[in-house]
Amino acid sequence: MENNGELSTVERIQQQIAENPILLYMKGSPKLPSCGFSAQASQALMSCGEPFAYVDILQNPDIRAELPKYANWPTFPQLWVDGELVGGCDIVLEMFQQGELQTLIKETAEKNKAE
């Protein structure tokens, strides 16, 4: 057990999810995405007009390795809202087209401003 005050990867993931009500795990960044799916998902999120956090899994290979197991979701990007996995690119885009993503993101942002 090498625990010198360092969080394990899973603990870091849990902390990121806990501290960021709207969190996208993606390849690259919203301004410079490194894959088409990440680009589409972050674009949809940006269109919702609320700030969101992101983690570039290319810069964090440990998270890239661990998160699919933790989330039980094999691919990236992954959108987490209020500690729950919403899903990947397809789900995010589908929700966006139906107007559900905008509602979810706005409600989450407002709820967290209020707290």
Task: List the binding residues.
Answer: 27, 35, 64, 76, 89-90
* Residues of each annotated binding site for [2Fe-2S] cluster: 35
Q: 3-class DSSP state for residue 32?
A: coil
64, 68, 71, 75: CA torsion to nearest 10: 100
Two tokens, residue 74: 């094999």
* Residues of each annotated binding site for glutathione: 27, 64, 76, 89-90
Cα gap 105→55, rounded to integer Å: 18
